């Protein structure tokens, strides 16, 4: 496929027997340019279907107008929605968005950031993989003058702008609510605790127990290797095997919750009468599930918007910033039919 050479300002210049600079000025309505030549240039540009070459401009201005975002995966409600928020924010500021997924691979994450540095993106948003424990690849970006904002997944030992959701608080709300409705034997289907987020949800579960003087029964906590619905099925089967006393479940997310609910139903228990259950995420299907699923809603779109906003602020302030932003958004418990109302 032979690329037809694009028309450049030089072509227009030649056609009009003027200099390239004149053409450039006409195209940008520079003050000092005669109306006549300007009109002529614009006409010719139109005729040639002239398109400025952004690469040349970027090279010149050291600014590409591209913002990069790296997420562990784009399939799935959470990150897709974050991206949506980011997209809306950056495109309203005239930036383009380069979206990449690391697939939870640290090597891939390094490579992607490297690529972005080479491409000279103007800034980067990143939600690190759960395997990301060293941050040299982040520092390299910063050293190259590319601002970085971390979102959703915290890197406790690393200093940077961060926008997070308080998973601990969401979990605490959910579990305390279960307790307040009279549940004493609440299981937790935990996600892989290598994920700080899932660790926080576990912590929320534990502390809600402490604070309400309910003893923790470690046999009620199931640690899963993943967080899709299948794991909910597995976890429930484990819990059911020993026929443990059980009247409530806090699942690490909605996908796991619906997997668990299937097993509960198959075993003949009623939801929420025998066992009530609360998920996390408020996926689009949660309110349509049967029974509709109580869950913890997170301000996902706002998370994206805010992260992007913070990055954009970097471009506005020419001065390097004195300190890092640290924003924590609050989730909200949404009570539906899978758990009894609080009288």
Query: Could you list the residues that contact its own copies (CB under 8 A)?
Result: 1-4, 6, 49, 51-56, 58-59, 62, 64, 66, 73-77, 80-81, 83-84, 87, 96-101, 115, 117-120, 140, 143-145, 147, 228-229, 255, 258-259, 261-262, 265, 283-285, 287-290, 292, 314-315, 317-321
Toward DNA, which CB reaches closer, 35 or 242?
35
In 3D space, the residue among 303, 299, 307, 301 whose CA is nearest the CA of residue 148 turns out to be: 307
In 3D space, the residue among 196, 199, 181, 190 whose CA is nearest the CA of residue 218 turns out to be: 190
Given candidates 15, 20, 76, 238, which one binds DNA under the rule CB under 7 A?
Answer: 20
Within 34-63, the residues that bind DNA by CB under 7 A are 34, 36-38, 50-53, 56-57, 59-60, 62
Q: Note whether 328 binds DNA by CB under 7 A.
A: no
The option from DNA, its own copies, none interacting with 290 (CB < 5 to 8 A, set by class) reads its own copies
Write down the least CB distance from residue 120 to its own copies, Å: 6
89-110 residues labelled b (16+ CB within 10 A) or e (exposed): bbeeeebebbebbbebebebbb
The option from DNA, its own copies, none interacting with 64 (CB < 5 to 8 A, set by class) reads its own copies
R_g (Cα) of the chain, nearest Å: 27
What separation in angstroms does the CA of 220 have from each of 60, 174, 205, 255? 61, 16, 11, 19
Write down the least CB distance from residue 195 to DNA, Å: 38
- Residue 251, φ and ψ in degrees, nearest 5: -95, 150
Contacts of 143 (CB under 8 A, 6+ apart): none
Given candidates 1, 4, 14, 33, which one binds DNA under the rule CB under 7 A?
Answer: 33
Toward DNA, which CB reaches closer, 38 or 217?
38
Given candidates 25, 137, 162, 309, which one binds DNA under the rule CB under 7 A?
Answer: 25
Within 61-120, the residues that bind DNA by CB under 7 A are 62
Given candidates 2, 32, 75, 323, which one binds DNA under the rule CB under 7 A?
Answer: 32
Write down the least CB distance from residue 2 to DNA, Å: 14
Contacts of 126 (CB under 8 A, 6+ apart): 69, 70, 71, 109, 113, 138, 148, 149, 150, 151
The option from DNA, its own copies, none interacting with 25 (CB < 5 to 8 A, set by class) reads DNA
| Choices 16-24, 122-130, 140-148, 272-280 (CB under 7 A): range interacting with DNA | 16-24
| Choices 1-9, 67-75, 78-86, 333-341 (CB under 7 A): range interacting with DNA | 1-9
Q: Note whether 4 binds DNA by CB under 7 A.
A: no
| Choices 5-13, 76-84, 282-290, 318-326 (CB under 7 A): range interacting with DNA | 5-13
Note the residue count of the chain. Answer: 343
Please give the residue ranges that form the binding site for DNA (CB under 7 A).
5-6, 8-10, 17-22, 24-25, 27-28, 30-34, 36-38, 50-53, 56-57, 59-60, 62
């Amino acid at each position: 496929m032979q690329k037809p050479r694009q028309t450049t300002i030089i072509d227009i210049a030649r056609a009009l027997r003027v200099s390239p600079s004149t053409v450039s000025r006409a195209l940008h309505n520079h003050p000092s340019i005669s109306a006549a030549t300007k009109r002529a240039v614009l006409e010719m540009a139109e005729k040639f279907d002239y398109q400025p070459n952004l690469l040349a401009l970027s090279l010149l201005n050291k600014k590409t107008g591209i913002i990069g975002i790296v997420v562990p995966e784009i399939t799935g409600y959470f990150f897709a929605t974050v991206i949506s928020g980011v997209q809306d924010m950056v495109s309203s500021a005239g930036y383009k968005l380069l979206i990449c997924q690391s697939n939870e691979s640290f090597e891939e994450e390094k490579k992607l950031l490297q690529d972005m540095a080479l491409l000279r993106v103007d800034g980067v948003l990143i939600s690190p993989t759960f395997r990301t424990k060293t941050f040299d690849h982040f520092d390299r970006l910063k050293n190259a003058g590319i601002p970085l904002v971390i979102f959703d997944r915290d890197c406790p030992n690393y200093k940077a702008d961060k926008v997070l959701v308080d998973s601990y608080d969401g979990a605490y709300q959910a579990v305390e609510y279960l307790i307040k409705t009279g549940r004493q034997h609440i299981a937790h289907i935990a996600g892989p605790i290598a994920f700080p987020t899932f660790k926080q949800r576990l912590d929320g579960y534990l502390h809600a127990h402490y604070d309400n003087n309910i003893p923790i029964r470690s046999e009620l906590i199931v640690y899963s290797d993943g967080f899709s619905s299948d794991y909910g099925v597995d976890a429930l089967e484990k819990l059911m095997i020993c026929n443990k006393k059980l009247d409530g479940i806090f699942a690490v997310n909605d996908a796991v919750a619906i997997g668990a609910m299937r097993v509960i139903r198959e075993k003949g228990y009623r939801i929420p009468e025998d066992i009530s259950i609360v998920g996390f995420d408020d996926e689009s299907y949660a309110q349509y599930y049967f029974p509709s699923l109580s869950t913890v809603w997170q301000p996902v779109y706002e998370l994206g918007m805010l992260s992007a906003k913070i990055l954009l602020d970097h471009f506005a302030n020419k001065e390097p910033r004195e300190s890092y932003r640290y924003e924590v958004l609050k989730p909200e418990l949404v009570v539906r039919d899978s758990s009894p109302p609080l009288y």
